[in-house]
Structure 1
Amino acid sequence: MDTARLAEALPERTAGFAATVAGADPDAPVPTCPDWPLRVLVGHIGQAHRWSASIVRSGPTPVPDPLEADPGAPADWPGWLHEGAADLTKAVLDAGDTPVWTFFGEQPAKFWLRRMLHDTTIHHADAAFATNTAFDVASDLAADAVTEWLEMLANPVTASLKPAFAELRGTGQTLRLDPGAGPGWLIIRTPEGVAWTRGQRTADVTLAGPPRDLLLVFTRRLPLDRIAVTGDRALAEHWLARTSA
């Protein structure tokens, strides 16, 4: 996904998140983030956008604690969220192709725009579940979020950050995500870790549904029963039990 699309999408997704939490109870529980009330979820988004912008401009700093974020009064949430997204977008556009620090080594600055876009999208879904409001996302953004998640899972650094991901290693078992239109994703569990490609090959288990639903199931925001499962269901359940986003 090119930088222009990412720069367009982050403010849009942040505005959608802000609209979802507007007027909601700051202490409302978030079912899909059970340790966080809504205020902490809001704080995390604005905090993460600002933290990413500071990395792009000045280099790495310690990962901030969402419990320490201060989004201000609920009436101020929309403006505060908008400012964070705008700050990150500007920082990335100003940096251009300049390599910056990431968890996976130096990469172009747009890494952080993409990472925060998809983090915001998933947490927008969390906010929608907490407030009993509708959630949707454009198919190209949902598909790119799935791709980014697989890129991270396939990176050897990821298992060192969260040991449970090492249990995704296997002996060649395959899972396919079928969005209905387009090539889909083929995941291979190898002894070295997760590998994946795009394509239409058959697999031990296939998960089929629209990109939005595949993304939400794949990030454990919706149950597996929300999409069609063909083949080795236990393999899909094993995968989902050992991943989170």
Structure 2
Amino acid sequence: MLQELGVQAQLVTTAARACQSGVRVAGASGRTVEQTLSHLSELCEQAAFATEPSRTAPVPGSVEPAAPEEGAGRFAVRAAELLAAFAGRDPAEPCPTWWPEQHTVGFWMRRLLHATTVHRVDLQLAAGIPVSPIPGDTAVDGIDEVLRVWFEYRLHALGITATRSCSVGVHAAGRSWLVTADQDGAAVVGSADVPAATPDSVVDGDPAAVYLWLWGRLPERAVRTSGDPDATAQLWGLLRLATR
């Protein structure tokens, strides 16, 4: 995971330096290139503080957006510092996080890997350069993270519920998740725990395509869908609220 985070961080800096100032990235984030780099630098600071409490607590919004070249350099420094710190830590070591299911250094390693990967795609598209492939294991883990951490937990934390009951099966690379949502909340079960009941709709496809579709970076035509289109649309819409 750390090796892949290093690869993705390097791709971020390379893509950012190829971007024109003020360009708004494609996909669901709505940020400019400068805002994307500022956001990633802030995530690095949050992770560094959580895993090394002796550091000064970051102030939200303190990393001002800067021109792509400057923002890329700033992110590169923060990412390198964080990778060096992570390299000497046990992923199972306890530390504060915002997800109740996992209070370990490994949470931040995983979170930074997926944030960096998704925003790397944003920046490559903004720069008009080829989008580098996403390793299959990273994509499958990213599907699990966006469904469990963002859809299931974050919606609950935000107090957001579905307008109608629905269930969606998500499949990629032999893995399966059953996603349910109703007026009482959202839930996700995966792999062997998936019940035999037929979901209202199904989304499947190449792991990287499913991963990026769930993050709002690819259109629905990039994945295969079947069943009730309203159930699929509600999953996508709720994820936009959870991940904004």
TM-score when normalising by structure 1: 0.83
Question: CA offsets, 1:5-24, max 9 Å, x none?
Answer: x1111111111111212232
Provide Cα deviations, 1:103-148, integer angstroms capped at 9, x if missing partner.
Answer: 1246111111110110111111221232222222111101111101
Contact preservation (8 Å) 2:34, 2:67: no
Q: How does 1:153-192 map to 2 (within 5 A)?
A: 153=150, 155-156=152-153, 158-164=154-160, 166-167=161-162, 170=165, 173-179=166-172, 181-189=173-181, 191-192=184-185
* 5+ long unaligned stretches in structure 1: 1-5
How many correspondences in the alignment? 233
In structure 1, what is the Cα distance between the partners aligned to 2:47 and 2:126? Answer: 26
Q: Which runs of 4 or more aligned residues in structure 1 lie more than 6 Å from their structure 2 counterparts after TM superposition?
A: none
AA matched with 2:174: G
Check whether the contact 2:212–2:218 (CA below 8 A) recurs between aligned residues.
Answer: yes
> What's the secondary structure of 2:236's corresponding residue?
helix
Backbone CA RMSD of aligned residues: 2.6
Q: Per chain length, whose mean CA-contact separation is higher, i.e. which structure has more relative contact order (CA < 8 Å, sep 6+)?
A: 2
**Residue of structure 2 aligned with 1:107, choices 103, 108, 111:** 103
Residue 3 (structure 1) aligns with: none
Aligned to 1:138: 135
Counterpart of 1:22 (choices 13, 17, 25) is: 17
Amino acid at match of 1:147: D
Alignment of 1:197-212 (within 5 A): 197-199=190-192, 202-212=198-208
2:86 to 69, 85, 92: 92
Shift of 1:209: 1.2
User: What runs of 5+ residues in structure 2 fail to find an aligned partner?
Assistant: none
- Tell me if the contact between 1:169 and 1:192 (Cα under 8 Å) persists in the aligned partners: no
In structure 2, the partner of 1:9 is 4
**Could you tell me whether the CA contact under 8 Å between 1:187 and 1:196 is conserved in 2?**
yes
TM-score by length of 2: 0.83
Question: Which of 187, 192, 201 pairs up with 1:194?
Answer: 187
Residue 225 (structure 1) aligned with residue 221 (structure 2): yes
Alpha-carbon separation, structure 2, partners of 1:183 and 1:87: 34
CA–CA separation in structure 1 for the residues paired with 2:138 and 2:78: 20
Percent identical residues: 21
Cα displacement (A) at 1:47: 2.4
1:195 partner letter? V
